[in-house]
Amino acid sequence: MKNRLKVLRAERDWSQGDLAQRLEVSRQSVNAIETGKFDPSLPLAFKLARLFERPIEEIFSDEEQRS
């Protein structure tokens, strides 16, 4: 699954550590989600959506749907 986390994070000038602190997860978790190595659960995806004040589909996109 692709995502715009890096862009959204950069817009706010947050480091991976800053985002991890806000999500109450480890920095490795943010890195793994950001690089597409790990897909977050729905509760964590909703948490991200609330944090960035965007709908989930604006943050995450289904690669199969794109192709």
Partner 1 sequence: MKVHVGSPAKYRFEDRFLFFIVPLFVLDGILGFWGFHYHHLHPTGALAVLCATVQSSPIIAFIFIVALYLAEEKDEFQKAVLVQSMLWAIGATLAVTTFWGSMEKYSQAPHMDIALAPFLFWAVMIIAIVANRWRYR
> Which residues contact partner 1 (rule: CB under 8 A)?
17-18, 20-21, 24-29, 31-33, 37-38, 40-41, 44
Pick the closer one to partner 1 by CB: 25 or 61. 25
Pick the closer one to partner 1 by CB: 42 or 66. 42
Residue 25 and residue 29: Cα distance in Å, rounded? 6
Q: How far is the CB of 54 from partner 1 (least distance, A)?
A: 21
Residue-by-residue DSSP string for 18-62: HHHHHHTS-HHHHHHHHTTSSPPPHHHHHHHHHHHTS-HHHHEE-
Pick the closer one to partner 1 by CB: 20 or 65. 20
Q: Which amino acid belongs to residue 26? A: S
